[in-house]
Copies of this chain bind each other. A is one copy, B any other.
Amino acid sequence: MPHGKVLVAQGGGPTAVINQSMAGVVLEARKFRNVELVYGAYHGVSGIVNEDFLDLTQETSHNIEMVASTPSSALGSTRDKPDLRYCQEIFKVLKAHDIGYFFYIGGNDSSDTVRIVSEEARRAGYPLRCIHIPKTIDNDLVGNDHTPGFPSAARFVAQAFMGANLDNASLPGVYLAVVMGRHAGFLTAASALGKKFPDDGPHLIYIPERTFNVEKFIADVKATYDRHGRCVIAASEGIHDEKGTPIITQLSSQVERDAHGNVQLSGTGALADLLCDKIKSQLGIKRVRGDTFGYLQRSFMGCVSDVDQREAREVGEKAVQFAMWGNRDGSVAIKRTGFYSVDYHLLPLEAVAGKTRVMEDEFISADGTDITDAFRLYLRPLLGSGMPDAYRLRLNKVDKILNPSK
């Protein structure tokens, strides 16, 4: 077992349960005699290079438990994606502070950072155990049945569409909502999980795994509207044309790009407005409304899956156990073992780092605008207990008196 301090950090977009993983690391690490202090990096890797560390050993267990059930990254996060030079800076600081264990909670960019730091340490002959702890609402980490954070975000999306469907049934028209997910459609597909009655929406689901064609889209909407007198649509922010160009760039040439060169998809209602305008102008339907779920879907306070909470806690705990009792660095992964049970494995960092999982074909319907029962079976247990359920009145119609023929 390497000696030294433990450092935990959080990277990328926050989730509803990312603090459960942090709590899992902190509380489990304190049980090991070779661990003297547990530090948290303030705002991810940028906190490391700036030596902005919090001493979590001076935090009460009680408050750590309360923080664990609070959404968003309590240690702060960062969008920095370190290159080799940045990782060497990280390594320098870890060494100066006598860090023996480095735990980074994040997505595939974060796992790549862990991989580079791990290699730097090995090259320098410095005893450092590096473990990546999975987190992402997009569910796009390879080698995982699913990733912590996704189930709670999926639950939000499912509940949101349950309500949107009821609203749309009450005041008929077209309702479209844009859901997060640049490359993977899992979160958008979760919109279907609240469907109960045969004519419930979302009636159409558009995901990045399938090419988006505007003409086909308009025809789909028309067919649904003709059939049901209304239409509820879930569209991923990452939908793109056959060349891979995001549909949102068709709207504006002035798109914002992040440090990774990615087009800004969230934090704007532009895509929903663009698609609604198309429906209005091409189909002449009057009541067309578009929402963009935006940051609510990853940060809304009070919508969380208890299954997600437990698993996020466990990946943190298991990370410490793998680090202490194992002999290699890696990425903790969730493996489904039953209906519904899971176990945890440590994957090689290079098996996860920088790779992107998308929705498996078996989860997508043949026409590409719906999910399959296989996806329903996959996702339902993850949403946890206490899911709300929608009821409707039975249509016991009364005979007309003034206009009996109508």
Contacts and interface: CB of A to CB of B under 8 A. Distances in A.
Interface string A378-391: 00000000011111
A212 interface: no
Task: Give the dominant DSSP class at A's interface.
Answer: loop
Nearest to A66: B391
A51 interface: yes
A293 interface: yes
A402 to B, nearest CB: 5
7 contacts: A51-B400, A51-B402, A51-B403, A55-B398, A70-B390, A268-B290, A303-B303
A79 interface: yes
Interface in A61-84: 63-64, 66-67, 69-79
B388 A301 contact: yes
Counting chain B CB atoms within 10 Å of each CB, the highest count among A13, A14, A291 belongs to A291
Contacts of A70: 166, 390-392
Given A52-B397, A58-B394, A267-B288, 15 more contacts: A14-B167, A51-B401, A51-B406, A55-B398, A59-B393, A59-B394, A69-B391, A70-B392, A97-B398, A163-B301, A163-B302, A167-B299, A268-B269, A296-B296, A302-B387
A303 B194 CA distance: 15
Interface residues of A, number: 87
Given A170-B73, A175-B295, A267-B290, A63 B401 contact: no
A224 B398 CA distance: 60
A296 B293 contact: yes
B296 A163 contact: yes
A302 B267 contact: no
A39 B401 CA distance: 14
A86 interface: no
A327 to B, nearest CB: 29
A70 B54 CA distance: 45
Given A268-B290, A289-B267, A167 B391 contact: no
A96 interface: yes
